[in-house]
Amino acid sequence: MKHWEVVIGIETHVQLSTASKIFSGSSTAFGSAPNLQANAVDIALPGVLPVLNRAAVECAIRFGLAVGGEVAARSVFARKNYFYPDLPKGYQISQYELPVVCGGSLPIQCGENEKLISLTRAHLEEDAGKSLHEGLGPTAQGRSGIDLNRAGTPLLEIVSEPDMRSAAEAVAYARALHALVRWIGICDGNMQEGSFRCDANVSVRPAGEVRLGTRREIKNLNSFRFLQQAIDYEVQWQIATIEDGGSIEQSTVLFDPASGETRAMRSKEDAHDYRYFPDPDLLPLIVDRQWVEQVRAELPELPAARRARLIADCGLSAYDAGVLTASLDLANYYEATLATAGKENAKICANWVMVDLAARLNREDREIGQSPVSATQLGGLIARIADGTISTSMARKVFDELCNSGHTSSADEIIARQGLQQISDDSALTALIDDLLAANPGMVAEFRSGKEKAFNALVGQVMKATRGQANPQRVSELLRRRLG
């Protein structure tokens, strides 16, 4: 049986977080009624001229610096000509031969392995409108509508090299890219609203073959789950087709989540089919080094650097550091918690953020920025666990109170108000243990006959008598000493 190698490259359309469109002053806000946010420039009515949005260019520079790419001193906008109902101009303004960013790379983590995915380019362009095929009312049965609100929305199209060899690697790349563009503040990452969309170019070739196979492009994948399913199906389909004696034709395909299958939409165009030429209404884009360095100075610490620092300075595992740097907000929350709890408590802080807080946020469908407990509150709680003021079980009760307090109470206030301080005083615990042993001679006899369960039962009795406030570790130590 022949072994096959999968080859995947991804083109990602990232909607840039600007208030207005790339060549006009129209709003980019999501959710407006159809065709209320498309002006004369967006649809290229006679006599209008596009004006480039400086904020969109700055987003492109931020990305280029973040991936170690080359920000072009001079780039050019071109007209990409094609005819489609949601493109009233008959062309899309994009960049072709001279993009604003060339090269760069993005590290991904796939299982235990890290891999560097090379990037070909990132270029600025405008989005097209949207065809509507349903929800148009009873009088529009069998018809389609066009919403031009998205027309002219600024996009950064990021093109990877065909470096991925599995659907898992493709998803890891898409997740890493999604996290990065949110981290540097150039995209909100909302996939349901179309802010982050992937096209996967998929081909297969016999293992050991150098030449690339014929690719098929799966368009407009707006969830990581669909990306995984679409690639898995496409790979199996291509292998089965070739092994049955067929051949792969270059084409654009769509993924149907309902059936889990891809289906051909049209034959795949090549660059010459679009008849690119420089847009005569737009001058070349000139980016001077001073602007680039200004943007560089404003960039936050990047995810890879933050992960490395958390591992080196806080002793976290690579896994913990990866989870805690999934977003800039999460990383900042963790470090703010650490600032209150103390760096010596880095691991317990990580556990509380990744487990207890994450479970609460998931249950309430909240982002970290909407956390019901502040980083200062959580850090204060962890400090009381670390110094033995409260036990872990009591801490969870305090945590619930903090979450319900609306950021108005501290852990210390709740502990004092409810009398939750852990009992660690040896004399008080010894007196309780002596009373307990005198009242339970049967359990004592069972333990001395070798039944360890009796010891655990005695510890439980002490914890029950103190309503869970006794220090369980100290109780165990004192109890074993008393039992000889």
- The predicted pLDDT at position 389 comes to 85
What would the pLDDT profile of 176-229 be if each residue is shown by its tens digit? Answer: 999 999 999 999 999 999 999 999 999 999 998 999 999 999 999 999 999 999
- Is pLDDT at 139 greater than 90 in this prediction? no
Q: State the chain's maximal CA–CA distance in angstroms.
A: 99
Question: What average pLDDT does this structure show over 57-84?
Answer: 96
- Is pLDDT at 1 greater than 50 in this prediction? no
Domain boundary among 267, 293, 319: 293
- The predicted pLDDT at position 428 comes to 67
- The predicted pLDDT at position 406 comes to 81
Q: Tell me the one-letter amino acid at 1.
A: M
CA atoms of 99 and 273, how far apart (whole Å): 19
Question: What average pLDDT does this structure show over 124-148?
Answer: 83
Please report which confidence band the pLDDT of residue 155 belongs to, taking 50, 70 and 90 as the band edges: very high
Q: Are residues 360 and 414 in the same domain?
A: yes
Residue 22, token pair as written in the block: 């790339």
Q: Are residues 178 and 235 in the same domain?
A: yes
CA atoms of 19 and 10, how far apart (whole Å): 27
Q: Are residues 318 and 375 in the same domain?
A: yes
Q: What total of structural domains would you count in the chain?
A: 3
Q: Are residues 116 and 149 in the same domain?
A: yes
- The predicted pLDDT at position 484 comes to 66
Question: What average pLDDT does this structure show over 59-64?
Answer: 98
Residue 146, token pair as written in the block: 């066009």
Q: Are residues 308 and 177 in the same domain?
A: no
- CATH number for the domain including 451? 1.10.10.410
- The predicted pLDDT at position 440 comes to 77
Find the helix packing angle between 54-66 and 289-298, rounded to 10°: 70
Neighbours of 207 (CB within 10 A): 9
- Is pLDDT at 425 greater than 70 in this prediction? no
Domain boundary among 418, 449, 464: 418
- The predicted pLDDT at position 57 comes to 98
Please report which confidence band the pLDDT of residue 448 belongs to, taking 50, 70 and 90 as the band edges: confident
Question: What average pLDDT does this structure show over 451-474?
Answer: 73
Q: Are residues 180 and 327 in the same domain?
A: no
- The predicted pLDDT at position 134 comes to 73
Which domain does 471 fall in, by range? 426-483
Please report which confidence band the pLDDT of residue 342 belongs to, taking 50, 70 and 90 as the band edges: very high
Residue 438, token pair as written in the block: 């005198």
Domain boundary among 270, 293, 316: 293
Q: Are residues 21 and 79 in the same domain?
A: yes
- The predicted pLDDT at position 221 comes to 95
Q: How many CA atoms lie within 13 A of 220 on its CB side?
A: 13
Say if strands 154-160 and 113-126 run parallel, antiparallel, or are unpaired: antiparallel
CA atoms of 327 and 320, how far apart (whole Å): 13
- Is pLDDT at 165 greater than 60 in this prediction? yes
Q: Of 2-11, 153-162, 312-321, which one has max mean pLDDT?
A: 153-162
Q: Are residues 183 and 315 in the same domain?
A: no
- Which of 29, 103, 11 minimizes the C-alpha distance to 63? 103
Which residues lie across from 123 on neighbouring strands? Answer: 157
Q: Are residues 114 and 226 in the same domain?
A: yes
- Which of 463, 454, 407 minimizes the C-alpha distance to 433? 463
Question: What average pLDDT does this structure show over 23-49?
Answer: 92
Computed on alpha carbons and rounded to an integer, the radius of gyration of the chain in Å comes to: 30
User: What is the rounded average pLDDT for all residues in the chain?
Assistant: 90
Secondary structure of 334-393 in HEC code, one letter for each residue: HHHHHHHHCHHHHHHHHHHHHHHHHHHHHHCCCCHHHCCCCHHHHHHHHHHHHCCCCCHH
CA atoms of 261 and 253, how far apart (whole Å): 10
**What percent of the chain is modeled with pLDDT above 70?**
93
Angle, CA 20 vertex, CA 18 and CA 21 arms, to 5°: 100
- The predicted pLDDT at position 430 comes to 77
- The predicted pLDDT at position 266 comes to 75
- Is pLDDT at 392 greater than 90 in this prediction? no
- Is pLDDT at 426 greater than 70 in this prediction? no
Please report which confidence band the pLDDT of residue 136 belongs to, taking 50, 70 and 90 as the band edges: confident
Q: Are residues 280 and 409 in the same domain?
A: no
What would the pLDDT profile of 261-271 be if each residue is shown by its tens digit? Answer: 999 887 766 66
* Top-confidence residue, 432 or 289: 289
* Top-confidence residue, 94 or 208: 94
Q: Are residues 163 and 35 in the same domain?
A: yes
Question: What average pLDDT does this structure show over 161-184?
Answer: 97
- Which of 179, 221, 172 minimizes the C-alpha distance to 197? 221
- Is pLDDT at 150 greater than 80 in this prediction? yes
**What percent of the chain is modeled with pLDDT above 90?**
71
Q: Are residues 231 and 281 in the same domain?
A: yes
